[in-house]
């Protein structure tokens, strides 16, 4: 298998803040990813954003010029549906989806009935990112949880990087429901849980992949949880200056200015660890 940079045999790449910010691609991202793909390096995309399906994400990436397809993409929506199937039974009652239409479609495809109101006595609330969510949606989730429904979250990212700046992420909306109910989701399916990383690494026969992301608390911690090396790219949420504050939680193996650094020889200046 082809290798790159410091001998890695695959890339597990975050999207928001690494490949794009809102509708705009980040400098060097498209060229770097296409170069690695052309060299035969497996490149898979692992995102905590649950607002789009894998097909929609692939369409977006192809429109940006990246040579990929839905098989190379895993979202936290897919992960939370898999978790839902493990923890709940379709016949036990409806699922209140506090998230995007695509998340609801995936849950329905898994055999569950869907509702948007607590009056239908849902067995569980599944909360995923949707920029169109409003007070009513969060209130219905709160009512259902107060009535005894379970609660799963696609991810707990507090922020999301957009071209205009940093905006509230799914974790911030989860916190609003948590404040109202005095409880927390029983589990979050997305990063820093390792399942998306290990699933995609196994799928593409990566034995020594590099996880690339812009967040220390999700991407880099998730890499460590999966037993993989992590590279923080300084194009999204966190920067090199943030690593000290997270030192007790996780330390990136590499800190890179952008994805383009992966096409060069690894420099000592890029190392995040002292060992």
- The reply to whether 229 belongs to the active site is no
Q: Which of 14, 217, 219, 229 is catalytic?
A: 14
Q: Which of 9, 16, 137, 253 is catalytic?
A: 16
Per DSSP, the residues of the chain read ---BTTTB--EEE--BTTTEETTEEPTTHHHHHHHHHHTT--EEEEE---SS-HHHHHHHHHHTT----GGGEEEHHHHHHHHHHHH--GGG--EEEES-HHHHHHHHHTT--EES-GGG--SEEEE---TT--HHHHHHHHHHHHTT-EEEES---SEEEETTEEEE-HHHHHHHHHHHHT---SEE-STTSSHHHHHHHHHTT-SS-EEEES-IIIIIHHHHHHT-EEEEETTSS--GGGTTTTTTT---SEEESSGGGGGSPPPGGGB----
Q: Catalytic residue at 217?
A: no
- The set of catalytic residues is 14, 16
């Amino acid at each position: 298998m082809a290798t790159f940079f410091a001998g890695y045999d695959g890339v597990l790449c975050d999207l928001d803040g690494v490949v794009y910010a809102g509708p705009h691609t980040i400098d060097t991202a498209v060229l770097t990813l296409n170069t690695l793909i052309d060299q035969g390096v497996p490149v898979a995309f692992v995102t905590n954003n649950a607002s789009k399906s894998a097909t929609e994400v692939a369409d977006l990436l192809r429109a940006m010029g990246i040579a990929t397809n839905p098989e190379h993409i895993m979202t936290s929506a897919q992960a939370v549906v898999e978790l839902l199937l493990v923890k709940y039974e379709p016949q036990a009652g409806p699922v209140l989806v506090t998230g995007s239409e695509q998340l609801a479609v995936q849950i329905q495809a898994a055999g569950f009935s869907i509702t948007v109101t607590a009056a239908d006595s849902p067995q569980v609330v599944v909360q995923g990112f949707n920029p169109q969510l409003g007070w009513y949606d969060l209130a219905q989730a709160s009512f259902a949880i107060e009535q005894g429904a379970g609660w799963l979250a696609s991810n707990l990212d507090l922020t999301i990087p957009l071209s205009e700046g940093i905006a509230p992420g799914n974790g911030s909306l989860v916190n609003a429901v948590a404040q109202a109910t005095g409880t927390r989701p029983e589990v979050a399916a997305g990063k820093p849980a390792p399942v998306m990383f290990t699933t995609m690494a196994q799928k593409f026969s990566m034995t020594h992949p590099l996880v690339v992301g812009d967040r220390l608390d999700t991407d880099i911690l998730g890499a460590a949880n999966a037993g993989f090396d992590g590279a923080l790219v300084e194009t999204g949420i966190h920067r090199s200056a943030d690593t000290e504050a997270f030192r007790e939680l996780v330390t990136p193996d590499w800190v890179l200015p952008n994805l383009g650094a992966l096409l060069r020889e690894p420099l000592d200046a890029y190392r995040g660890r002292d060992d």
